[in-house]
Amino acid sequence: MLPEVMDPDGPIFSISVAASLAEMHPQTLRQYDRLGLVIASRTKGGGRRYSPRDIQRLRLIQRLSQEGINLTGIRRILALQSELEEAQRRMDDMTELVRRLVEQHESQGRRIFSAGSTGNVAQGRFYHPRLALPGR
């Protein structure tokens, strides 16, 4: 039985299958591995294994190369793309943290307890405008 969702980072394709999927020669994949553009996982026997994400990256490299960008430029584009993805993940994490803090603040800030002149505890409600979050 096949898994419902394939791990995009799971190294499953041999170099010949990956080369076929990326429409490249296996030697090109070896060169990209040596240059650090797409670093294949290795089997115990030393064979290269490529993930679906590696195949996407190989296709991107091929497209950029066909557009006339040299390997140094492609390396820089890939590095910037990785930095952008990491920044997006951090921003998503921070947005979620802010959302949870606002919810916590709103749930705690709605009630006010105070002691009356007779010592009885009085409960009140406090109104404050909602903070607008990006994308909310």
Answer whether 59's CB lies under 8 Å from 22's CB: yes
Closest CA to 28 of 3, 56, 61: 61
Quote the pTM value: 0.65
pLDDT (tens digit per residue) in 112-129: 666 667 777 666 555 555
Which residues is 13 bridged to in the sheet? 50
For residues 109, 113, 114 and 118, what is the CA-based torsion angle, rounded to 10 degrees?
Answer: 160
pLDDT (tens digit per residue) in 45-71: 999 999 999 999 999 999 999 999 999
- Top pLDDT among 84 and 116 is at 84
DSSP sequence for 64-109: HHHTT--HHHHHHHHHHHHHHHHHHHHHHHHHHHHHHHHHHHHHHH
Angle between helix axes 15-22 and 26-35 (nearest 10 degrees) is 100
3-state secondary structure of 48: strand
Domain boundary assignment for the chain: 1-68, 81-109
Mean pLDDT value of segment 12-27: 94
Class of domain 1-68: mainly alpha
- Top pLDDT among 9 and 83 is at 83
Spell out a b/e string for 112-133, using b for 16 or more CB atoms within 10 Å of the CB, else e: eeeeeeeeeeeeeeeeeeeeee
